């Protein structure tokens, strides 16, 4: 059995300090085997914000695994943005922006979905390149069959069930098909500051490929988590997900900031639940 804490969108520079303190205590009290952080450590990629983010991960007692988000690239230092966008991330957080993690039960692969620029005015949207699809597939191929496979990105792979027009990461459909082909069970992300889970039905990815995975196969679930500590909230309180993996099955429970501490919101078994909002 493995315990995972999935947190996202910390946004140091715009955090509630009381929430940060409670979050560190709540995660450490859970004694997870792994903490997964799906990007946006900082608000503006400033040195001071990165220092705070580094201090935060330094207080986690479990090993942690992270990918960057769009806020982790400087918006003000254009030279750095274009020529060395991940310099500060690599210096303060981790040298690898697409890490892998493996233990006796879990196999976790990161995808860096943030982009230094885009052919549009808003550069906050994310993409997955063809090279990243291939590289991630090669990594997943190395995973032993019995391990529980998880992919982590910053931008969402599926929109919220209650807001289907929400923009998702570029090449999301192709990525989800590839994840399915390689037996991925959970696809974790953030960015929207909204928590929800969605079971990925093969037909929802591409109706022509219903043969890819038998209907009775273990489901792949998209796990989105709200912002863990930011004061920039979108109709949802700060929250994170606790994921318990046992016998090839995951149970996911949201921990939601109540104003005084983190408490359970809902308990969900993805094998039986189709769609829901993680925050009741
Ligand atoms: Fe983001």
For residue 210, the CA-to-ligand 1 centroid distance in Å is: 32
- Residues 256, 232, 66, 47: what is their CA dihedral angle, to the nearest 10 degrees? -140
Please give the Cα distance from 124 to 155 (Å, whole number): 9
**Mean pLDDT value across the chain:** 88
- Predicted pLDDT of residue 275: 34
When mean pLDDT is compared over 69-78, 105-114, 268-277, the highest value belongs to: 105-114
- Strand order of the β-sheet with 249-257 is 64-67, 34-38, 2-7, 239-246, 249-257, 262-268
Which whole-number Å values give the CA distances from 29 to 36, 119, 250, in the listed order?
16, 45, 20
- ∠ Cα 105 142 139 (to 5°): 100
For residue 64, the CA-to-ligand 1 centroid distance in Å is: 19
pLDDT digits (tens, 9 = 90+) for 14-57: 999 999 999 999 999 999 999 999 999 999 999 999 999 999 99
For residue 216, the CA-to-ligand 1 centroid distance in Å is: 34
Q: 122 versus 41: which is more confidently predicted?
A: 41
The angle that helices 17-30 and 47-59 make with each other, rounded to 10 degrees, is: 30
Return the closest-CA partner of residue 8 out of 256, 265, 227: 227
For residue 79, the CA-to-ligand 1 centroid distance in Å is: 21
For residue 39, the CA-to-ligand 1 centroid distance in Å is: 7
For residue 260, the CA-to-ligand 1 centroid distance in Å is: 26
For residue 107, the CA-to-ligand 1 centroid distance in Å is: 24
Stretch 46-75: mean pLDDT: 95
- Predicted pLDDT of residue 218: 76
> Is 47 exposed, middle or buried, given 0-12, 13-18 or 19+ CB atoms closer than 10 A?
exposed
For residue 70, the CA-to-ligand 1 centroid distance in Å is: 5
Return the closest-CA partner of residue 71 out of 110, 37, 111, 43: 43
- Predicted pLDDT of residue 111: 98
* Helix (H/G/I), strand (E/B), else coil: 32: coil
Stretch 110-116: mean pLDDT: 91
Please give the Cα distance from 228 to 27 (Å, whole number): 11
For residue 174, the CA-to-ligand 1 centroid distance in Å is: 21
- Predicted pLDDT of residue 124: 77
Stretch 57-71: mean pLDDT: 97
For residue 234, the CA-to-ligand 1 centroid distance in Å is: 13
Stretch 128-151: mean pLDDT: 96
- The conformation of residue 70, written as its DSSP 8-state character, comes to G
For residue 67, the CA-to-ligand 1 centroid distance in Å is: 11
Looking at 7-11, 26-30, 37-41, 71-75, which range is the least confident one?
A: 71-75
Looking at 83-97, 115-129, 227-241, which range is the least confident one?
A: 115-129
**Domain assignments of the chain as residue spans, ordered by start:** 2-277
For residue 206, the CA-to-ligand 1 centroid distance in Å is: 27
For residue 197, the CA-to-ligand 1 centroid distance in Å is: 18
For residue 274, the CA-to-ligand 1 centroid distance in Å is: 26
- Residues 175, 181, 183, 185: what is their CA dihedral angle, to the nearest 10 degrees? 40
* Contact by Cβ (8 Å): 8, 225: yes
pLDDT digits (tens, 9 = 90+) for 169-228: 999 999 999 999 999 999 999 999 999 999 887 655 565 655 555 555 678 999 999 999
Residue 165 CB partners (closer than 8 Å, separation 6+): 159
For residue 71, the CA-to-ligand 1 centroid distance in Å is: 6
- Predicted pLDDT of residue 216: 57
267 has pLDDT over 80: no
- Predicted pLDDT of residue 13: 97
Number of Cβ within a 10 Å radius of residue 58: 8
Superfamily of domain 2-277 in the CATH hierarchy: Metallo-dependent phosphatases (3.60.21.10)
- Predicted pLDDT of residue 276: 38
pTM equals 0.90
Report CA 50 to chain centroid distance, whole Å. Answer: 19
Please give the Cα distance from 48 to 54 (Å, whole number): 10
Stretch 101-111: mean pLDDT: 98
136 has pLDDT over 70: yes
For residue 140, the CA-to-ligand 1 centroid distance in Å is: 25
């Amino acid at each position: 059995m493995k315990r995972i804490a999935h947190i996202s969108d910390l946004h140091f520079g715009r955090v509630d300090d009381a929430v940060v303190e409670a979050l560190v205590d709540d995660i450490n009290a859970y004694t997870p085997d792994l903490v997964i952080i799906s990007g946006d450590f900082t608000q503006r990629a400033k040195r001071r914000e990165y220092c705070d983010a580094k201090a935060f991960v330094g207080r986690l007692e479990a090993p942690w695994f992270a990918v960057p988000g769009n806020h982790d690239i400087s918006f003000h230092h254009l030279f750095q943005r274009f020529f060395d966008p991940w310099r500060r991330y690599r210096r303060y957080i981790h040298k690898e922006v697409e890490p892998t993690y493996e233990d006796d039960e879990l196999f976790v692969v990161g995808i860096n979905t943030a982009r230094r620029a885009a052919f549009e005015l808003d550069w906050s949207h994310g993409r997955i390149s063809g090279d990243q699809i291939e590289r991630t597939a090669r990594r997943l191929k190395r995973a032993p069959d019995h391990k529980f496979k998880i992919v982590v990105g910053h931008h969402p792979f599926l929109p919220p069930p209650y807001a289907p027009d929400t923009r998702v990461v570029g090449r999301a459909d192709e990525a989800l098909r590839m994840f399915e082909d390689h037996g991925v069970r959970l696809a974790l992300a953030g960015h929207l500051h909204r928590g929800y889970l969605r079971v990925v039905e093969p037909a929802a990815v591409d109706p022509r490929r219903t043969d890819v995975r038998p209907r009775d196969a273990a489901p792949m679930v998209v796990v989105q988590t709200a912002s863990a500590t930011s004061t920039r909230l979108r109709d949802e309180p700060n929250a994170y997900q606790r994921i318990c993996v046992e016998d090839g099955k995951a149970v996911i429970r949201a921990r939601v900031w109540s104003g005084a501490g983190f408490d359970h919101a809902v308990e969900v078994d993805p094998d039986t639940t189709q769609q829901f909002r993680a925050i009741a």
